[in-house]
Amino acid sequence: MRNCIKFLFFIFCLIAVSYNNAFSLDCVNARFLFDIKGDIDQPSDVSVSQNGDIYFVDGVNNRIVAVDNLGRFKFTFGKRGSGKGEFDLPLGIDISSDDKIYIADTGNKRIQVFDLEGNILTMFSTVLESDRNTSEPVDVLVSKFKDYLYVSDNNNHEIKVYDRGGRFKLKWGKFGEGYGEFRYPATMSANSLSEVFIADVINTRVQRFSPMGDHINDIGVWGVHPGDFFRPKGVSVSKDGWVFVSDSYMGVVQVFSSAGKFDGVICENNKKKVFRTPVGVFVDKDSRLLVVEMRANKITVLKILQ
């Protein structure tokens, strides 16, 4: 047993050294702007409104926190419960171009929609009659394509698609390792073509789809070298088409082209930027990168420099 533990420790150290060396020359530099901290307990995802205000999911506290574009506290909304405007361990957030806030209310198995002041507008269940398991929505993505809403269902290993009124339209995916299959899909993002990028956690990749669910390509494979993933959790596509992916286990954010070409790791002054359990990521229209550090209970905000 002792020898086994020593061997595992050796392998972990080897992985860490290999990863550090692998990324020493491949940098996408960013400048630190500020951290968002406070009475936060395991935040999971973040989004930005049209005026630059930042909204993030404070999951264990069952609420959404709003701060201004400099990270100064504004207000919170939500509390634990199953009523309107209440949450049960929410995970995902997205804000539409008309400033509606969409929340994956995971424990309540539903999507809730709010205005920018936190007033609830509507909600709908993500449980379908055909579900073999209980639905577990972990993220929601608002699309310009037909005003679709994409919901990643963690328990059923599939993507469900609704209109903005909550009417079910289609779904794709099943448990597996093939193209278009998932093992615990997580956060999502879209590019200017409304193509959907999905962090496929246990399959250690990001999958890219057409708006109707046709598989286009994969980004990343399992490993510890440039372009590899250990536990990809967050994905965000910038206005320039770069794909930013957080690796919660390795503590980095990597950058790719939409086709999957590795461009680099987020650095400060050409040194790898290390995050503590990075999960949700978001790149706003001003090229700010927001990284949710779940175990550090903060959101780090940086300016992308290239």
Of the two residues 270 and 134, the one the predictor is more confident about is: 270
Q: How far is the C-alpha of 25 from the C-alpha of 256, rounded, in Å?
A: 15
pLDDT in tens, 24-47: 559 999 999 999 999 999 999 999
Q: How far is the C-alpha of 215 from the C-alpha of 207, rounded, in Å?
A: 7
Q: Is the pLDDT of residue 264 over 80?
A: yes
In contact, 251 and 277? CB cutoff 8 Å: yes
pLDDT of residue 7: 40
pLDDT of residue 131: 79
Q: Which runs of E-coded beta strand occur in 98-249?
A: 101-105, 110-114, 120-125, 137-142, 149-153, 158-162, 168-172, 185-190, 196-200, 205-209, 215-219, 221-222, 228-229, 232-237, 243-247
pLDDT of residue 225: 84
Consecutive H or E run containing 8: helix 2-22
3-state secondary structure of 249: coil
pLDDT of residue 224: 83
Q: Which two tokens stand for residue 24?
A: 């020493």
Q: Residue range 69-86: average pLDDT? A: 98
pLDDT of residue 40: 97
Of the two residues 70 and 224, the one the predictor is more confident about is: 70
Q: Going by DSSP bridges, is the β-strand pair 262-268/27-36 parallel, antiparallel, or unpaired?
A: parallel
pLDDT in tens, 170-201: 999 999 999 999 999 999 999 999 999 999 99
pLDDT of residue 226: 79
pLDDT of residue 25: 59
Q: How far is the C-alpha of 306 from the C-alpha of 304, rounded, in Å?
A: 6
- What are the backbone angles phi and psi of residue 11, rounded to the nearest 5°? -65, -45
Q: How many CA atoms lie within 13 A of 205 on its CB side?
A: 21
Q: CB neighbours (10 Å) of residue 151?
A: 26
pLDDT in tens, 217-236: 999 999 988 789 999 999 99
In contact, 244 and 235? CB cutoff 8 Å: yes
Q: Residue range 56-83: average pLDDT? A: 98
Q: Residue range 211-216: average pLDDT? A: 98
pLDDT of residue 10: 40
pLDDT of residue 214: 98
Q: Which amino acid, 140?
A: V
pLDDT of residue 196: 98
pLDDT of residue 17: 45
pTM above 0.85, yes or no: yes
Q: How far is the C-alpha of 44 from the C-alpha of 138, rounded, in Å?
A: 10
